[in-house]
Amino acid sequence: MPLLLSIAVFVAVAGGLTWLGARLWVRPRAAIERITGTDSGTMERAQKHPSLAFRELLSKLGSVLPASPKDVNVMQQRLMRAGYRGPHALRYLYGAKVLLAALLPVLTTIAVAGSSSRTADNKFMLIAGSCAAGFFAPNEYVRRRARRRQRQIRRGLPNALDLLVVCVESGLGLDQAIVQTAKELEHAHPEISEELALVNFELRAGKRRVEALRNLAERTDVEELRKLTAVLIQADRFGTSISQTLRSHSDFMRVQARQLAEEKAAKLGVKLVFPIFFCILPSLFVVTVGPIMVRVVRELMPVINQM
């Protein structure tokens, strides 16, 4: 029975790969037209790349999965914080959830079908767990990507703030300083550069500066950036000096970063207790006490045996 199942799985996989290859990669008509010299530019542009076909599949699967408006808004905010801001990003996410929720149970079923050591209940739990893991794995990926992007924004914010101070003190307005900072940090810190460029695009589209800065804080959900936007909004509202405000906030961020580093350094001793106790001390005991114990056993065992 396992042999027949393996043969059926092999035939199904081979047939599916052959069909995909013939559908996506093998293009005899385009090859014949290229050899004969006929015009095939339109045909090549009309034919879809495999990645585009995969995206279209994800979009169709994503449209099948129902979702409440509240969940849609939450997932859109997570996708924006992760850097996925395309018009079909949410459909791609839902399509990936459906595809993985259907694909992982099939692979798990194939993997546990031939094992006789597992009971039927264990197999069912594995299949159900794989289905749940495939359904929630894209959410976890988006969450981790958003956290990584927030760390990158937090890391590049001090440099961006210093450049803003330099640009404003050199005579540029705040809008032009944001544009220049986005250009300068395009390669060093692309995440913060992208966010500042989006602020510039919103200002060009006609939004007020206060609204654009608030959108910046909502998109990134970084606490330091929220504080910076709040300071800039207050400076713009009350008419205070932008350069002095930015310099004061830059000093505040440096003091805060120094205090955070001191806090981490203070926690280091407590965090090292467990690695030292479980990893370093046993090896020290083996190196220092081990030879002594061997010598004691060699010298005392004959005496004990004679007694």
Angle in degrees, CA 27, 33, 36, rounded to 5: 140
- Which residue has 């804080």 as its token pair? 217
Q: What is the rounded CA–CA span in Å between residue 55 and residue 91?
A: 9
User: Cα dihedral sign for 55, 59, 62, 67?
Assistant: positive
Specify the pLDDT at position 32.
53
CB-count burial class (<10 Å; 0-12, 13-18, 19+) for 134: buried
Specify the pLDDT at position 146.
93
HSE, CB side, 13 Å, CA atoms: give it for residue 45. 4
Specify the pLDDT at position 87.
83
Specify the pLDDT at position 51.
62
- Segment 109-161, tens digit of pLDDT: 888 776 666 677 788 888 888 889 988 999 999 999 999 999 999 888 888 98
Specify the pLDDT at position 182.
92
Residue type present at position 277: F
Specify the pLDDT at position 145.
94
Note the pTM of the prediction, 2 decimals: 0.70
Structural domain boundaries of the chain? 1-47, 150-268
Find all residues with CB under 8 Å of 212, minimum gap 6, and list them.
Answer: 199, 202, 203
Which two three-digit tokens encode residue 230?
A: 């709040």
Q: What is the rounded CA–CA span in Å between residue 192 and residue 150?
A: 9
- Which residue has 């799985």 as its token pair? 9
Specify the pLDDT at position 46.
42
Specify the pLDDT at position 2.
56
Do the beta carbons of residue 225 and residue 152 sit within 8 Å? no
Specify the pLDDT at position 17.
67
For the chain, residues with pLDDT lower than 50 are: 39-47
Q: What is the rounded CA–CA span in Å between residue 196 and residue 225?
A: 11
Specify the pLDDT at position 31.
53
CB-count burial class (<10 Å; 0-12, 13-18, 19+) for 27: middle
